[in-house]
Amino acid sequence: MSFDVQLFRTETMEKEQQRKIEGFFDNPANLEPFTEEQFQGLKERLGAYEFNLINEAPEQLQYKHPEYNLTALLTKTGLYFTAGWDEESVFEAGMTASEFADSDEFKKYDPQNGGWEVF
């Protein structure tokens, strides 16, 4: 088991809230792609948070944090954090995703805690 939390564009949140359909996230057409600028910004921010790139594929980048049991998968439509169930890793995953959602561009989705984090 793992703790998962995701980051999407705000437009994806708005679509999901309007449509309210089961399996929304399973259909890639529902996920608004990051702009190239947003994608590059997320890559840079992951580096600034000490995530190390461990695998690069055409449509996704996989990162691992050296201090925590925490990985991040950056795709063209979402940033997916996965943590082991140790308390520090879960805390870091949640906090990092919240900090990345500090602008109106991105929203954090936490399926373990009821969905979208809205302030």
pLDDT (tens digit, 9 = 90+) per residue, 37-66?
999 999 999 999 999 999 999 889 999 999
Q: Mean per-residue pLDDT for 79-105?
A: 94
3-class secondary structure, 63: strand
Core vs surface per residue 38-75: b (16+ CB within 10 A) or e: ebebbbeebeeeebeeeeeeeeebbbebeebbbbbbbb
In the predicted model, is pLDDT for residue 109 greater than 90? yes
For residue 114, what pLDDT is reported?
83
Domain map of the chain by residue range?
1-16+30-81
Are 93 and 6 a contacting pair, CB within 8 Å? Answer: no
CB atoms under 10 Å from CB of 9, counted, come to 19
Q: Phi first, then psi: what are they for 24, rounded to 5°?
A: -50, -45
Band (pLDDT 50/70/90 cuts) for residue 119 is low
In the predicted model, is pLDDT for residue 33 greater than 70? yes
For residue 9, what pLDDT is reported?
98
For the entire predicted model, the pTM comes to 0.94
Q: Mean per-residue pLDDT for 11-27?
A: 93
